[in-house]
Amino acid sequence: MLKLEGSYICGTPERAHYQMYKLKTHIALTALFIFSSTLSFSNNMSSFYSESTFIALVILSVVLAAIAALLFGIKKHLTALQNEKIGTEDEPSFYDSKIKPITSKWNPTIATLVIAGLLMIVLGGFGYKFGMDEVGVQQGYSPTQPINFSHKIHAGQYEIDCKYCHSTVEKSKSASIPSLNTCMNCHKYVKAAEKYNGKTSPEIQKIYDAIGFDGDNMEYIKGYDQKPIEWVRIHNLPDLAYFNHSQHVVVGKVECQTCHGPIQEMDKVYQYSTLQMGWCIDCHRERGIDSENNAYYEEVHKNMIAEGKDYVTVAENGGLECSKCHY
């Protein structure tokens, strides 16, 4: 490698310069690649990269950076030697010719503060992003799913009730992802074949492959080794917070869209809300409980009328107390 580089140097200075230009481009491209890959990873596009890929990329980047630094050093050294040999004067460096005239006019204290401040803002921004990721704040998280299921088609275009698929939302803490037999209620017949020249849609075919359905003969394959679909979970509350869908949907009468956003318009689902505690608390402070129509709140309703209030917020009913959610 060294020898190879040496052979370039033996050529004309212009050629060497061209090589260096190429090298600079490489360094810049590498840096860009590292930056973009890091960014994309932190942007929750994580379904593209597994953790091990990321680590491999980091190691590769470090190695490449080390080589680049080495080469740059050699180049500098060789240039100096060559200049000595040829006897030309050192060109004034980029710094001396372009940057120094500007910076020499600056007040050193203010300049340091400004640069440090800018750095702080940039780094702080990154830090904030990392921090938020670390504590699991993933607003906007939109991973690629094993099946490109579109809520826009199902909930928007065909207006299928959310509860048809997320059937336990009124009974359980979890709204639950529908099991494949729920999909098959329709997709036994709906194959979207018109879009695919009479063949089953490849996305629907994934359901058939998982549950063991022969789309051509319209029958289940006996003794098929079923494989579940491994969806990527988008809404990840930390374990220390207890959330119950039925409490909010049945008792609180909250619409799905209040927290999940315009789900009927999403081709690919993303996390609409922050799911941070402050977001929970804000709602609990504003929203009133339906004390009038629920016998459980009979006493609360009586007290409310006695106190001459129009409504009782969740917070006033104890909805901000720690162990309502943390236990």
Partner 1 sequence: MSSNKYWKGVEELEQTQEFVTSNANEFSEGLPLEKIFSNDDATRANRRDFLKYFGFGLGAVTLAACNKAPIKKAIPYTEKPDNVTPGVPLYYASSSVSNSEGFPVLVKVREGRPIKFEPNKEATYFGGGLDGLGHSAILSLYDTNRLKGAMVAGKTKPVAWADFDKQVIKALSTTNKTIAIVTNGSTSMVTNQAIADFKAKYTNTEVVAYEPISYSGITRANNASFSSAVIPAYNFQNADVIVSFGADFLGTWISPIKFHADYSKNRVPKEGKMSKHFQFESLMSLTGANADVRVPIKMSNVGQHLIALYREMGGATPVNGMETAGNSIKQAAAALKGAQGRALVICGSNNEQDQILVNAINTMLGSYGSTIDITNYYKGQSADEKDFDAFLAKAKSGAYGAVITLDANPAYSYAGSANAFAKIPVRISTSITLDETAETATHIATGLHPLESWDIKQPYNGRFIFSQPTISPVFEGRHVASSLVAWTGVDVKDTEDFSHAYVYAKNVFTSSIGTNFNEAIEKGIVENVATAAVPSFNITTGEVISEIAARKKADSELILYQKVGVRDGAYGNTPWAHEMPDPVSKVTWDNYLSVAMADAKSNGWELGDMVSVSTANGKYDLPVLIQPGQSKGTFGIALGYGRVLPPEVQNDLKDLGQNVYPLVDIKGGFANYIISGVTIEKIAGAALHEFGMTQSHYSIEGRDIIREASLEDFKKDPKAGQHVHKPKPITLWEDYDYSKGHHWGMAIDMNACTGCSACIVSCSIENNVPIVGRDEVRRRREMHWLRVDRYYSFEAPTTKDLSLSIVHGGDQTVQAGEQMSKEKVMEAYAEASEDKATAYDYYENVQVAHQPMMCQHCDNAPCETVCPVLATTHSSEGLNQMTYNRCIGTKYCGNNCPYKVRRFNWFRYNENEKFDYHFSNDLGKMVINPDVTVRSRGVMEKCSFCVQRIQATKLVAKRENRKMNTDEFTTACAQTCPSNAIVFGDLNDANSEIAKLYRDDRSYHVLEELGVKPSVQYLTKIRNK
Q: What residue ranges bind partner 1 (CB under 8 A)?
A: 38, 41-42, 44, 46-47, 51, 54, 127, 130-131, 133-134, 136, 138, 143, 168, 170-174, 176-182, 210-211, 226-233, 236, 238-240, 242, 244, 246-247, 250-251, 293-300, 303, 318, 321-324, 326-327
Alpha carbons 240 and 63: distance in angstroms, whole number: 40
In the complex, the smallest distance separating the C-beta of residue 308 from partner 1, rounded to whole angstroms, is 16
If the CB atoms of residues 18 and 130 are measured against partner 1, the closer one turns out to be 130
Smallest gap, in angstroms, from Cβ of residue 153 to partner 1?
19
* CA 165 – CA 188 distance, rounded (Å): 15
Least distance between partner 1 and beta carbon 226 (Å): 5
Distance of closest approach, residue 276 Cβ to partner 1, in angstroms: 13
Using alpha carbons only, how large is the chain's radius of gyration in Å?
31
- Supply the minimum distance, in Å, between the C-beta of residue 90 and partner 1: 38
Of 213, 280, 270, the residue nearest 243 (C-alpha): 280
Using DSSP's 3-state secondary structure scheme, residue 152 falls into helix
Residue number with CB closer to partner 1 (16 or 206)? 206
Beta carbons of 164 and 256 less than 8 angstroms apart: no
Shorter beta-carbon distance to partner 1: residue 196 or 243:
243
Q: Which of 290, 287, 320 is nearest to 304 (CA)?
A: 290
38 vs 82 by CB, closer to partner 1: 38
Closer Cβ to partner 1, 71 or 301, answer by number? 301
Nearer to partner 1, 267 or 321 (CB): 321
- Cβ burial of 122 (10 Å; 0-12, 13-18, 19+) is exposed
CB of 1 to partner 1, least distance (A): 31
Q: Which two tokens stand for residue 198?
A: 């009479």
Neighbours of 76 (CB within 10 A): 11
